[in-house]
Amino acid sequence: MKEIVHFELVEASEASSSVAMEAMGFKRGLNYLLHMGVDVGVITTDRSPSIRKIMREDYSDIHHEFDPWHVHKSVMKKLVAASNKKDNQDLRPWLKSVSNHLYWSCSSANGDPEKCLQRWRSLLHHICGVHRWEEDGVEHVCHHPAMTEEQQRKNWLQVESSAFKALNSVVMDNNLLRDLKQMAHFKHTGSLEVYHSSMLKYTEKRLHFKYDTMRARTQLAILDHNANVSRAQGTTKEGQPRYRYCYSKQSAQWVAKPIYVHTQQAFRDNLVERVLKRREDPAVIYTEPLPRRQPRRRRLLQNIAPVPRPPKAFLLSRHSSRFKPYLT
């Protein structure tokens, strides 16, 4: 399911920073879902430290997962930087394989954190041309099918090479190994990224909206998203799935991306129809007040000036003196 079921609007005046706003919205939203009786088993987020802390301290009975896409992005950034060094050039042809391997390690772990870790680390053997090895007295093998002679002639890395050492330090990074344990369910937040881009259509960032307007626009963005998020991939005249091909700077390779069928806007007609029907319904009394948002405690925004303001007359006299000729 990729639909959005709930949202929270947090005003800047309610929190001290954008990080605090995120944490506030997160807790408020999750508490609402729990209050409504939703059985929340797993929550997937990025690796924001404040959300990690909240999950650890306040919701320790809910499993917290990290989005593989975010982790993948940071791992690949490090590897691309390493492979750009002259001594590590042999790493470059391996980048795409390492990228695939990270996703595979998570997607094939079936929720088992140790399996996810073990599979990720196995990369360090495979990349040296070793497909069968021992770890703590247990024999492990690569999961790929037997390799052809052609495949065996790959440019395997040497354990002593600078390229391997650079790879090793990224693969075995303690923070990464710790986070991988929370990626074994392979839960994506990808459709949320899709939502954020479609939300820009309704809530342009350079415009300021009042609370009620922002709420209505967010609701429209969600209706649009939910109506379109599961649409199918487009097909060619021959019935083949459609793709566009673009060059990925990060992996330095060409990649195929699916092209989806056009979005449908029928939800707007349904919405207008329901509004008109409600207007015609004699049972609806229009003197009822609109649902108001609940009053919330607001912080007073602090003045950025560190000293109190001098009297206005003083400031005005100083202002006008700026326009007087020097030394008169």
- Contact residues: Zn ion, CB under 5 A: 126, 131, 142
CB of 88 to Zn ion, least distance (A): 21
From start to end of 46-151, where are the E strands? 63-66, 132-135, 138-141
- Supply the DSSP symbol for 4: -
HSE of 230 in the Cβ direction (CA atoms, 13 Å)? 7
262-270 long-range contacts, Cβ below 8 Å, gap at least 24?
A: 263/224, 263/227, 263/228, 263/231, 264/227, 264/228, 264/231, 265/224, 265/227, 266/227, 267/223, 267/224, 267/227
User: Could you tell me the smallest distance in angstroms from the CB atom of residue 118 to Zn ion?
Assistant: 14
Q: Which is nearer to Zn ion, 126 or 187 (CB)?
A: 126
Min dist. Cβ of residue 152 to Zn ion (A)? 10
Residue closer to Zn ion (CB basis): 97 or 189:
97
Separation in Å, CA 118 to CA 94, 109, 137, 314: 19, 9, 14, 72
One-letter-per-residue 3-state SS of 187-211: CCCHHHHHHHHHHHHHCCCCCCCCH
Residue 12, both tokens: 């800047």
The least distance separating Zn ion from the CB of residue 169, rounded to whole angstroms, comes to 21
Q: What is the torsional sign of CA 32, 36, 41, 42?
A: negative
Nearer to Zn ion, 126 or 185 (CB): 126
Select 101 or 126, whichever has its Cβ closest to Zn ion: 126
For Zn ion, the nearest residue by Cβ is 142
Pairing of strands 63-66, 42-45: parallel
Helices (H), 204-265: 211-228
Rounded to a whole number of angstroms, the minimum distance from the CB of residue 126 to Zn ion is 3
For 133, phi then psi, to 5°, come to -150, 170
- Cβ-proximal residues to 248 (8 Å cutoff; 6+ apart), any chain: 254, 255
Rank residues 144 and 268 by Cβ distance to Zn ion and give the closer one: 144
As measured in angstroms, the least distance from the Cβ of 136 to Zn ion is 19
By C-beta, is 128 or 177 nearer to Zn ion? 128
Measured from the CB of residue 144, what is the shortest distance to Zn ion in angstroms?
A: 6
Could you tell me the two tokens for 306?
């560190």
| CA torsion, ordered 36, 38, 41, 45, to nearest 10 deg | -70
What is the smallest separation between the CB atom of 58 and Zn ion, expressed in angstroms?
43
Minimum distance between the CB of residue 130 and Zn ion, rounded to whole angstroms? 7
Question: In angstroms, how far is CA 90 from the centroid of its own chain?
Answer: 31
Identity of the residue, 48 or 118, whose beta carbon is nearer to Zn ion in the bound complex:
118
Nearer residue to Zn ion within complex by CB, 18 or 152: 152
Cα 12 to chain centroid, rounded: 21
Nearer to Zn ion, 73 or 143 (CB): 143
